[in-house]
Structure 1
Amino acid sequence: MDELEFMRGRVYGADHDDAGPVPGRAYVELVGGPLDGLLLDITSRPGHELREGVALPTEIGGYGPGGRALYAPRAEGSRRFDWRGDTP
């Protein structure tokens, strides 16, 4: 299994030992960019993030450690958040 295949179905921010989705929680798929294919748990996220998007800390984006990857919903209520770029 290659790294890309391994990453698919994993939850952003979860421990490697417990990286899969948890029943009863809501997720969106991150599409494109450094976090492509990961799932984002949106269960407790504020409504404005579900409408406007999120800035997720990542060490593998364009700005390296300390940078953030920007993701926003394709449309209101979408289960996919598309990559919009990186920021320091």
Structure 2
Amino acid sequence: MDGDEQLLRGRVYGHDHDDPDPGPKAGRTYAELVGGPLDGLLLDIHGWRTEEVDDGVALTTELSRWPGGRALYDPRPGEPRAAGPGIACRFYYSGDTP
């Protein structure tokens, strides 16, 4: 099994750990979250425009510096992105906000 197949077995952000099917769905596009409190989760970015991906995200989590706050994740400028379903890019942790 290659690395991308192993990553696709990860949990998708927003799915509970006890969800019977918390993993990615075939035909969807995901960003891998790297570092910080949500490290290793996948974020469903299917249908996002390039500009939306470039803006990064602020994801609600009880695991941030401020419980109930948001963890900030951004793509790295110039990092290659894949087209189509599967893991298209990575978002890197850049801090927390209340």
Q: Aligned-pair distance for 1:74?
A: 1.6
Per the TM alignment, residue 17 of structure 1 is displaced from its structure 2 partner at its CA by 1.8
Query: Which structure 1 residue ranges, 4+ long, deviate > 4 Å from structure 2?
Result: none
Higher relative contact order (CA 8 A, sep 6+): 2
Of the structure 1 ranges 68-77 and 16-25, higher mean CA displacement relative to structure 2 is found in 68-77
Q: Deviations over 1:1-45 (max 9, x none)?
A: xxxxxxx71100024222100000000100000000000000133
**Count of aligned pairs:** 80
* % identical aligned pairs: 59
Q: CA deviation at 1:48?
A: 3.1
Q: Give the structure-1-normalised TM-score.
A: 0.80
Which residue matches 2:91? 81
Matched, 1:9 2:4: no
- Aligned counterparts, 1:11-50, within 5 A: 11-15=12-16, 16-50=19-53
Q: Deviations over 1:45-79 (max 9, x none)?
A: 354330110000111110012x0000001235541
| C-alpha separation in 2, matches of 1:48 and 1:17 | 33
Alpha-carbon distance between aligned partners in 2 of 1:75 and 1:24, rounded to the nearest angstrom? 26
Instruction: Provide the C-alpha distance between the structure 2 equivalents of 1:39 and 1:51, rounded to a whole number of angstroms.
Output: 16
Q: TM-score, normalised by structure 2?
A: 0.73
**Mapped partners of 1:60, 1:74: distance in 2:** 23
Instruction: Provide the alpha-carbon RMSD of the alignment.
Output: 1.7
